[in-house]
Amino acid sequence: MTEITAHHGLFKDTNLHVDDTGGPGRPVVLVHGWPLSGEAWTEQVPALQQAGYRVVTYDRRGFGRSDKPKGVYNYDTLAEDLHALLQELDLNDVTVVGFSMGGGEVARYFSLYGAERLRSVVFASAVPPYLMQTADNPDGPLTNSAAEEMTAGLTKDEDSFYDQFTTDFFSASGVLKVTEEQRQEALALCKQTDKKAALACLEAFATTDFRADLPKVTLPALILHGDADGTVPFEGSGERTHAALPGSELHVIKGAPHGCNVSHAEEWNRTLLDFLAK
């Protein structure tokens, strides 16, 4: 466990909580989804560590055990936090895995920093290329009314919102695909989140257009997604990202919900490890 200080933004010193297994193995950095924290990777860290990789997770600013500053939570800021982490730990030849909202940090990183320090990337149940449905993005899976409903629900009653959100997060066709204990663990992580940060990040992942970022992803890429994802539907996100990245690999987990890294951890981990071994 350590702290990385990101020296940028309105509040210059923002401490990010980092968990680093250390060791000589090739580094894999895991970027969590909204509104969780680095602790959401409990099914992945042991498997990666056992395979010999150095595994680094961190809590996004405003979430988990990281500082929760006021101010900007856009993807330039969040990608800069990722860059600060790679620099501070002096990580090179890195595979960055971006889950859900975290896929946005991965895409934006290339626009800001190129392929510096990276070996490959994974978009897992990720929000690119552009979640919001607009006139020039008719295939965006998130309607404006649905986004407004999420914002209103979170604003009105955090506990109720997160309870329903974690249920949907791990459900496929209305059936919960994890144990209630696993859902409660995710719910506890949600409740560590600063409300203003959660709302700002909701707006960021809903409205940020990554279509200009994706062509800059020049490294090997894996798109990993559940075909029953009701939170970030595959057809409007993972499928389009795969099409935008010539040569990228695609693995679709049948019957898997958004939180497929937990519900289908064995298949998810096996797919990631196969990709890392190439």
Locate tokens 């856009």: which residue?
74
Taking the CB of residue 161, how many other CB atoms lie within 10 A of it?
19
Q: Which candidate in 20, 194, 213, 229 is catalytic?
A: 229
Residue labelled with tokens 């600013």: 61
Q: Is 125 a catalytic residue?
A: no
The residue from 83, 242, 251, 258 that is catalytic is 258
Check if 145 is active-site.
no
- The DSSP output letter for 51 is T
**DSSP states of 220-276 as a string?**
-EEEEEETT-SSS-GGGTHHHHHHHSTT-EEEEETT--TTHHHHTHHHHHHHHHHHH
| H or E, element range at 203 | helix 195-207
Q: Smallest Cα–Cα separation from 125: which of 243, 40, 228, 244?
A: 228
CA distance 205 to 248: 22
Angle at 262 between CA 171 and CA 235, to 5 degrees: 55
Instruction: Check if 264 is active-site.
Output: no
Which residue among 66, 100, 120, 237 is the active-site one?
100
Residues designated as active site: 100, 229, 258
